[in-house]
Structure 1
Amino acid sequence: MAGSAEHGSSSEATVVARRVSARLASLAPSATLAVDAKAKALKAAGEDVIGFGAGEPDFPTPPAVVAAAQAACADPANHRYTPVAGLPELREAIAAVTARDSGLEVSASQVLVTNGGKHAIFNAFAALLDEGDEVLIPAPYWTTYPEAAALNGGVPVPVPTSAADGFHVTVEALEQARTPRTKVLVHVSPSNPTGAVLGREETAAIGAWAAEHGIWVLCDEIYQHLVYGPHRFWSLPAVAPEIADRAVVVNGVAKTYAMTGWRVGWLIGPPDVVSAATNLQSQATSNVANVAQQAALAALTGGLEPVAAMRAVFDRRRQTIHRMLNECPGVTCQEPEGAFYAFPSVEGVLGRQLAGRRIDSSATLAEVAIEEAKVAVVPGEAFGAPGYLRLSYALADEDLQEGVSRLQKLLASAG
């Protein structure tokens, strides 16, 4: 009977494999969204869960942006198809703020408006990668980079960084990982999940190295306005102009203006790459929703005052979570330099007993945390960094303090 059961299971798996493409069957779901969904489901069931999973500001979208969207709904021009690459006035505004904030001069024709930053990353990889091309991705990394690269035929190659170096990738590490198949380097500063911010000299050196070896650079600048203390954001193609013709910049309004749900991002690059990505988008999604584009236009042309107010709150929370995590038994946490994530090491907890379970990994610890303390965190395994947790501090101060206090109590009971 056992043999029959195994045979049936194998046949079933074969049928599933035939029904779903191998490429999508191997695709991992977003770990961060999965944790957030679990936390929300538990809350809906009446559980008192505090979620540190999702990377989205807890602030409402600025009122002027919402008002612009409401007005746009009444304009029949927004009820129709518009150019695939985006509303001309929005593309002009994106070029203008890119010059202002990144120091990178581009024309509106080099801008493709996308359905959020993830869509921009996917389009960029689709335009750049052929089957077997290698993509260097500094680790720890955001979960989407390797999956989007692989979906487009690329081979993700993690490039390790260390806490001792502040999770700053080095040219030496990149050179060690480079092969004749290396096509693209992913560059992200400030970093999700570590909060690391690379300095000007580091950034320029990476750009010069990529230019020397003919490697494309995908620059994710989505957190450019969220830097703290003495740290500054530096746009790689701006400080290393020799790489500008092989650089693609992705950005969006999600993090800066608390507009994650509006789904407006963009891709900036050389004309041939932008043209190819636009052709892809014409067949995949066409234009981004016009009302959302009008909201993004209002955000970009409305000044940075709301951004400064949100950044001040994030900075306060950053200092609080850094202090409190370092008070947790077995936990050490570097101070985040940018974005809104803390990335503590839990190596000191591994191998111990919690709630009757042996904590053999950070994934196990995350399971125990939500089951026993009702605290949702993302395990480091999702970011290519076992032994760590990622906690977003984009949540209310009282929830942040209560959530970390629960972790402190839970970890204090470890045997």
Structure 2
Amino acid sequence: MRIAPLNPAIAGTSVPPVMEARRWLGGVTFPPDRPLINVSQAAPLDPPPEGLRRAIAEAALNDPAAHLYGPVLGMAALRAEVAAQWSRAYGGQIAENQVAITQGCNQAFCAVMVTLAGAGDEVIIPTPWYFNHKMWLDMQGVKAVSLPTGAGLIPDPQAAAALIGPRTKAIVLVSPNNPGGAEYPAETIRAFRDLARARGLVLVIDETYRDFDARTGAPHTLFTDPDWAGGGTDPGFVHLYSFSKAYRLTGHRVGAIVASTARLAEVEKFLDTVAICPGQLGQIGALWGMRNLSAWVAAERIEILARRAAISAGLVTLPGWKTLGCGAYFAYVEHPSPLPAPQFAQNLVREAGVLLLPGTMFMPVTDPAGQRQLRIAFANIDTAGIALLMGRLRALTF
């Protein structure tokens, strides 16, 4: 059906990949002895722990303020808790007024980008990219400049430097990476910060999956710089986070921005316009989780690392498959089929009862590498499920 009028920027934006993939399930039946294995989306399927659910329920029943508008930049108590815990975790100094709470991390990204770039500007993003980042830039008429990654899907700051032009406003990193799973070395992140500072750009780091990093200690040292938030000609860097994965709060949409107070003053304009304030109940749940679930989150991390080990070991046994990256919730692989990735992925639904995403959803259409690649979001299947997945992939004939 033709719609008129239609913003050409929206019309030119790709359809949501996870929703597109779900449509492949139409008309396909999955018998009880071979149910669908859905590794297309990185979202916890289980509910939060009971204590967190009770905290939300009690607030819903007994706290009248939980149903009212709150501060545009989020609850003061949650902002303060993030500032305190992040200061300890990263070894730096973060103030409460340098934290904003958003309706999920996607909104955090959109809010920050609105303050940075407008139509005709450019933002550098490594490929394979997180598709929602690319979609938002397309909607705003901002050119996403792709930065191909090297071994282990690690981006190269020198390669990024060659892409900087007069309209470049920012560089965006995601670590641990979605879709590639790569954990960027601290020295790589520092080099990107140095590049951004030298060229007057903002470095935006999405750390949605920081709670599932295989490394111990802080993943980078940027917050140890007393001037991390910038000043003068230095625009500083911006950190993004999601409470969805650590506390299973995907449906409540709670994210965070850590940035300079000047940046957040501009972010506030956007947030007030699109949401007025983040949802109160989700924030109450996130705050309760931060204060009470550190041991539980640590156990969740150990479980995800066990699944990572299981899928890494399983992929090695698949003839012709190559692991490009594996970490957090994701494995990113090359497949051996002669079919292009989108067709191969759709065939997997019918032939193997497996739903995953093709690499073309994470790459420019002009990059042939996407035709050979797939993303497997393994966090929602346990080690037994991973073994079953490997068995189905091993049984394929090409």
TM over 0.5: yes
1:139 pairs, out of 107, 122, 127, with: 127
Structure 1, residues 128-162: CA drift from partner, whole Å, max 9, x if none?
11221110001111111111122233110010012
Q: 1:298 aligns with which of 288, 292, 296?
A: 288
Q: Does 2:127 correspond to 1:127?
A: no
Q: Once the 2 structures are TM-superposed, how far is the Cα of residue 300 of structure 1 from its aligned partner?
A: 1.4
2:64 pairs with 1:76: yes
Give the corresponding residue for 2:219.
Answer: 234
Q: Give the structure 2 partner of residue 372 of structure 1.
A: 351
CA contact (8 A) 1:52 1:375 kept: yes
Task: For residue 156 of structure 1, give the secondary structure of its aligned residue in structure 2.
Answer: strand
Instruction: Render the CA deviation track for 1:179-233: whole Å, top value 9, x for unaligned.
Output: 12211000221111111112222221111111111111111011111112x5765
SS state at 1:244 partner: coil
Q: Which residue of 2 aligns with 1:49?
A: 36
Counterpart Cα distance in 2 of 1:100 and 1:202 = 22
Q: Does 1:253 align with 2:232?
A: no
Q: Give the AA of the match of 2:255.
A: G
2:78 to 87, 90, 102: 90
Partner of 1:30: 16
| CA positional deviation for 1:286 | 0.9
Among 139, 149, 160, which residue is 1:151 paired with? Answer: 139
Question: 1:234 offset after TM fit, Å?
Answer: 2.2
- Give the Cα–Cα distance (whole angstroms) in 1 for the partners of residues 216 and 26 of structure 2: 34
Opposite residue 123 of structure 2, the aligned amino acid is V
Asked if residue 396 in structure 1 is aligned to residue 377 in structure 2, the reply is: no
| Partner SS for 2:296 | helix
Matched, 1:332 2:319: no
TM value normalised by structure 2: 0.90
Q: 1:365 to 1:264 in 2, by over 3 A?
A: same
- Quick check: 1:110–1:269 contact (8 Å CA) kept in 2? yes
CA contact (8 A) 2:9 2:140 kept: no
Counterpart of 2:52 in structure 1: which amino acid?
A: V
DSSP-derived class of the 1:405 partner: helix
Quote the offset at 1:125 in angstroms: 0.6
Distance 1:39 1:309 in 2: 34
How far off is 1:242 after superposition?
Answer: 5.5
User: Does structure 1 conserve the Cα–Cα contact (< 8 Å) formed by 2:79 and 2:101?
Assistant: yes
1:19, distance to aligned residue in structure 2 (A): 2.4
2:188 aligns with one of 171, 181, 202: 202
Deviations 1:14-45 (A, max 9, x none): xx3x3221121122222134335655996799
How well do the aligned residues superpose, as a CA RMSD in angstroms?
Answer: 2.2
SS in 2 for 1:234: coil
1:60, 1:258 within 8 Å by CA — same for their partners in 2? yes
TM-score (norm 1): 0.87
2:153–2:324 CA contact under 8 A, matched in 1: no
Which ranges in structure 1 are unaligned for 5 or more consecutive residues?
1-11, 352-358
Show the counterpart of 2:229.
244
* CA contact 1:36–1:54 (8 Å) conserved in 2: no
Q: Deviations over 1:50-90 (max 9, x none)?
A: 10011013443122211110111011111211111111111
Name the CA distance, whole Å, in 1 between partners of 2:184 and 2:168: 22
Counterpart check, 1:211 vs 2:197:
yes
Distance between the aligned counterparts of 2:317 and 2:389, measured in 1?
Answer: 13
Q: Does 1:276 align with 2:266?
A: yes
What letter corresponds to residue 364 of structure 1 in structure 2?
A: Q
Q: Work out the CA distance in 2 between the residues paired with 1:159 and 1:65.
A: 40
Pairing partner for 1:166 from 137, 141, 152: 152
Post-superposition shift, 1:341? 0.4
Tell me the CA shift for residue 297 of structure 1: 0.8
What is the rounded CA distance, in whole Å, between the counterparts of 1:84 and 1:183 in structure 2? 26
Q: Secondary structure of the equivalent of 1:141?
A: coil
Question: Alpha carbons of 1:273 and 1:152: their partners in 2 closer, same or farther (altered >3 Å)?
Answer: farther
- Tell whether 2:59 aligns with 1:67: no
- SS of 2:244's equivalent in the other structure is coil
Look up the SS of the partner of 2:124 in the other structure: strand
State the shift of 1:262 in Å.
1.6
Equivalent pair of 2:153/2:325 in contact (CA under 8 Å): no
SS in 1 for 2:204: strand
Map 1:399-414 → 2, pairs under 5 A = 399-410=385-396, 413-414=397-398
Match of 2:173 among 167, 180, 187: 187
Q: Judge conservation of contact 1:33–1:53 (CA < 8 Å) in 2.
A: no
Match of residue 366 from structure 2: none
CA contact (8 A) 1:142 1:383 kept: yes
In 2, distance between residues paired with 1:222 and 1:376?
A: 23
Distance 1:77-1:286 versus aligned 2 partners, 3 A rule: same
- Stretch moving more, 43-52 or 208-217: 43-52
In the alignment, what sits opposite 1:354?
none
